[in-house]
Structure 1
């Protein structure tokens, strides 16, 4: 029996202990359905106990003017992979450092996918968006940010479409209570945020949006490319 099925059932059984009666009942029914389908007994399911919550600041920074879309991108990807994103900013500083919180296995996946998505945006900006010396100051930054915001909206739209196609994932693809509890001392978490794309909204948001919708780490990160970009051992 595939390990991921047992893990999925274990997560559902953990959700079945939720204080929300409707959520608990739905989780338990789905868990029983999967156990019957795959002929599994309760003792064969690994309990989701003593899980480790990982909190880590990543090597990605942004400000309100430079890469402000990065915080929104981290929030969208983190939540889709059962994690949370947050920002860390020192007193009197404008620079935000992006971090993620999640259960150990979820965290590793969310981290790698976010870093790859972020790299996709930065690489495309450097490769495709030209600096014109006749442009007013700040124009290149505005173009790049417009593309970045478009990418975030495209990724978010793709995730929503995926969830609508696979509504049965709804009870499994949730942020565990242990993760949210671990953030009690951290203040406000990162959210989708509000885009600021200036006069380049239409042209670059359109390009970025399509790139975001087409973003597929499962097909684009394979073999040597996956190991190189994500730092996975050979």
Structure 2
């Protein structure tokens, strides 16, 4: 049914380019009415013949370190019309992040994720260096790094929430399409249990939160999006 409606709307939009103004206006109004009725966007119509794809980020976290990556991937994918999952090659402890969505969305999502990971790792490198000078144990350093990472993606999540609130006209455009979500149905998503180190390393959480919240500055996101378009 939906496929037939989409085809009908596309034909009406094509008639909207008719040299006959009455015919064109009627076709456009009819198309818009159907789009509202069936909650479809022009973006979805352009994807009528397109299928979701997977994009391998080539970025991984391990069983022991960088678990914050799953939270980061979740926030970025959800706000860029994609989903993510992990694959673990046999015999390894490396969990690779995979994005799934329509091509443009998945490529943008992957680029933003790679850029965000670089930003987080750059800060973690400085944190580790300072903590080693203070002769902190590896366990304490790892906890501090995980806490910073968690703060970063939670700050980023709040920043996206603010953006959506300020641009409510985005509406359905920012929603993950059902056909993209379908890939997760047969999967058992690997979930790691996060340990709460916020009280012990609150300063690192706060730093990560602040930096995550400003990460979505338009100049950064526009730079990333222009690279994949």
User: What is the TM-score normalised by the length of structure 2?
Assistant: 0.71
Asked whether 1:28 is paired with 2:19, we answer no
Counterpart-to-counterpart distance in 1, 2:159 and 2:123: 19
Runs of 4+ residues deviating >6 angstroms: none
Partner of 1:87, secondary structure, is strand
Match of 1:119 in 2: 118
Q: CA RMSD in A?
A: 3.5
Match of 2:109 in 1: 110
Residues 73-110 of structure 1: CA deviation (Å, up to 9, x unaligned): 00100010000011112456533111110101111111
Residues 179-208 of structure 1: CA deviation (Å, up to 9, x unaligned): 1223344332779x7454366431100000
Match of 2:158 in 1: 157
More deviation in 46-55 or 89-98? 89-98
How far the C-alpha of 1:59 sits from its partner, in A, is 1.5
The alpha-carbon distance between structure 1 residues 221 and 179, as it changes in their structure 2 partners (threshold 3 A), is closer
How far the C-alpha of 1:131 sits from its partner, in A, is 3.6
The alpha-carbon distance between structure 1 residues 30 and 169, as it changes in their structure 2 partners (threshold 3 A), is farther
Partner of 2:132, secondary structure, is coil
Asked whether 1:51 is paired with 2:74, we answer no
Match of 1:99 in 2: 98
Q: How many residues align?
A: 196
Counterpart-to-counterpart distance in 2, 1:200 and 1:214: 24
> 1:142, 1:198 within 8 Å by CA — same for their partners in 2?
no
How far the C-alpha of 1:58 sits from its partner, in A, is 1.7
> 2:156, 2:216 within 8 Å by CA — same for their partners in 1?
no
- Higher-Rg member (1/2): 2
> 1:85, 1:189 within 8 Å by CA — same for their partners in 2?
no
Larger helix share, 1 or 2: 2
The alpha-carbon distance between structure 1 residues 120 and 72, as it changes in their structure 2 partners (threshold 3 A), is same
> 2:82, 2:99 within 8 Å by CA — same for their partners in 1?
yes
User: What is the TM-score normalised by the length of structure 1?
Assistant: 0.70
Counterpart-to-counterpart distance in 2, 1:159 and 1:195: 24
Match of 2:205 in 1: 205
- Give unmatched runs, 5+ long, in structure 2: 1-5, 11-32
Alignment of 1:134-145 (within 5 A): 134-145=135-146
Counterpart-to-counterpart distance in 2, 1:185 and 1:169: 30
Asked whether 1:78 is paired with 2:77, we answer yes
Partner of 1:215, secondary structure, is coil
Counterpart-to-counterpart distance in 1, 2:58 and 2:83: 16
- Give unmatched runs, 5+ long, in structure 1: 1-9, 15-24, 36-44
